[in-house]
Amino acid sequence: MDKLEKYRKILQQIVERYAQLPRRSEQVPLVPICDTVHDNYLLMRVGWDNTGRAHHTLFHFRLKDGKVWVEDDGIEHGIANDLLEAGIAPEDIVLAFQGREPRAVAELALS
């Protein structure tokens, strides 16, 4: 299996795993999105709660130039930790939501 196929599989597994986590029944439903054609992988909350319409992204990955770009990360412990634990090389993880200097400190890819 080539690297991109391996990364696609890992990203799909992470999205699905988070989508299946138990949550309070009153919470807005989670919607996993795995677009293997355009290489975007997201987990979103979509629906209604007691304050109104809810539509936001918990995290968003994108495969670009052979690397995993973390476009958005709303996970408390940092979703990049899940990527590392799943076997994605640190030099292939770009924290795109941060500027270049914080990324350099994190020892992950700059781009």
What is the reported pLDDT for 104? 47
Residue 64 lies in a domain: yes
CB 94 within 8 A of CB 70: yes
The rounded distance, in Å, linking the Cα atoms of 59 and 95 is 11
Is 11 within a domain?
A: yes
Residue 35 structural domain: 3-105
The residue whose two tokens read 């975007």 is 40
Percent of the chain at pLDDT above 70?
Answer: 86
Task: Single out the residue of 109, 86, 96, 105 nearest to residue 16, CA to CA.
Answer: 86
Q: How far is CA 35 from the centre of its chain?
A: 12
Q: Mean pLDDT for each 10-residue chunk of the chain (111 residues)?
A: 94 97 81 97 92 93 96 93 96 85 54 55
Q: What is the pLDDT of residue 103?
A: 46
Tell me the CATH number at 76: 3.30.310.110
| Separation in Å, CA 44 to CA 4, 10, 57, 85 | 23, 18, 4, 22
